């Protein structure tokens, strides 16, 4: 089995958007009632337009879960496995109008480390990228919010991408470029094209170069469609390049 990241789904200009790649790998992970979420760990920048092998290891003898490895030749790009339900408490989501106002405070409008990003890049046009604009809510909570109008070609990886970058901005990516290290998510429902949704995100702590966030995706009636927890790693943006084609 192979997985290719089309150039459209880049984050940094030469590598895949972490949320989209994680969601694309997550689609191949078998979940269950006891293990309904998927955790993906990114180990190397995912290359674009190059087939990568998806390899399943033998099930863990204690948990019965299988780890999927995403390989670019002999380079481990990511691993994915089913995990138990996420335990971060889910606060009430931002309202649509709150989220629209927060978009006006999006720090990426002034300076963006990766303007090519499929999820939140300022150099992408609507319909090409998701053009999310997560900004701080004006309620003193420290949470971030953005609206999202669902595109026609929505799929599980798109939902992971929507949950991805708002968490990064809430974790402090402005002025301190970071990339996704680990993302654990559960998609309860893939939204319908044209739906207006709200992504709410918040910081969960930081230590050294590592920062933690959580995010949720809600419909206008309050239905929870998806949620995620993530670890972000501060980096030098120039270093985020996949290995050269052999």
Q: Each residue of 43-59: pLDDT tens digit?
A: 999 999 999 999 997 66
By residue count, the chain amounts to 246
At 85, the pLDDT band (50, 70, 90 cuts) reads confident
pLDDT score, position 172:
87
At 189, the pLDDT band (50, 70, 90 cuts) reads very high
pLDDT score, position 144:
97
The span from the CA of 103 to the CA of 169, in Å, is: 12
Q: By the 8 A CB rule, do 93 and 198 touch? A: yes
pLDDT score, position 239:
60
Residues 79, 121, 127: CA angle, nearest 5 degrees: 95
pLDDT score, position 66:
81
Neighbours of 26 (CB within 10 A): 27
> What DSSP element (H or E) covers 196?
strand 196-207
- Locate tokens 């953005």: which residue? 146
> Is residue 67 scored above 80 in pLDDT?
yes
The span from the CA of 167 to the CA of 88, in Å, is: 13
pLDDT score, position 191:
98
Q: Is 162 helix (H, G, I), strand (E, B) or coil?
A: helix
The torsion region of residue 105 among left (phi > 0), alpha (psi -120 to 50) and beta comes to alpha
pLDDT score, position 241:
59
> Is residue 61 scored above 70 in pLDDT?
no
> Is residue 246 scored above 90 in pLDDT?
no
36's CB contacts (< 8 A; 6+ apart) are 82, 84, 85, 186
pLDDT, mean of residues 26-44: 93
At 237, the pLDDT band (50, 70, 90 cuts) reads low
Question: What does pLDDT average to over the chain?
Answer: 92
> What DSSP element (H or E) covers 187?
strand 178-187
Q: By the 8 A CB rule, do 207 and 104 touch? A: no
Question: Do strands 135-136 and 68-72 pair parallel, antiparallel, or not at all (unpaired)?
Answer: unpaired
Neighbours of 9 (CB within 10 A): 23
Residue 164 half-sphere exposure, CB side, CA atoms within 13 Å? 32
pLDDT, mean of residues 155-170: 97
At 177, the pLDDT band (50, 70, 90 cuts) reads confident
pLDDT, mean of residues 150-156: 97
pLDDT score, position 236:
66
> Is residue 162 scored above 60 in pLDDT?
yes
Structure tokens at 13: 């200009």
Ordered structural domains, the chain, with CATH? 2-239 (2.40.160.210)
């Amino acid at each position: 089995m192979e997985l290719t990241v089309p150039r459209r789904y880049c984050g940094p200009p030469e590598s895949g958007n972490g949320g989209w790649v994680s969601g694309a790998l997550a689609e191949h992970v078998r979940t269950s009632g006891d293990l309904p979420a998927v955790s993906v760990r990114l180990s190397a920048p995912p290359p674009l337009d190059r087939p990568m092998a998806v390899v399943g290891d033998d099930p863990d003898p204690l948990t019965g879960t299988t780890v999927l490895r995403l390989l670019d030749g002999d380079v481990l790009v990511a691993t994915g496995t089913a995990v138990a339900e996420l335990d971060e408490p889910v606060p009430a989501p931002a309202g649509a109008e709150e989220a629209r106002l927060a978009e006006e405070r999006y720090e990426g409008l002034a300076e963006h480390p990766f303007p090519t990003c499929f999820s939140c890049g300022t150099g992408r046009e609507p319909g090409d990228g998701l053009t999310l604009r997560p900004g701080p809510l004006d309620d003193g909570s420290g949470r971030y919010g953005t609206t999202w109008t669902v595109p026609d070609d929505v799929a599980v990886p798109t939902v992971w991408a929507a949950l991805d970058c708002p968490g990064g901005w809430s974790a402090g990516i402005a002025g301190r470029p970071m990339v996704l290290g680990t993302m654990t998510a559960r998609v309860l429902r893939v939204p319908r094209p044209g739906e207006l949704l709200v992504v709410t995100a918040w910081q969960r702590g930081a230590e050294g170069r590592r920062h933690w966030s959580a995010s949720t995706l809600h419909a206008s009636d309050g239905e929870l469609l998806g949620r995620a927890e993530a670890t972000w790693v501060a980096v030098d943006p120039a270093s985020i390049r996949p290995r050269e084609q052999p």
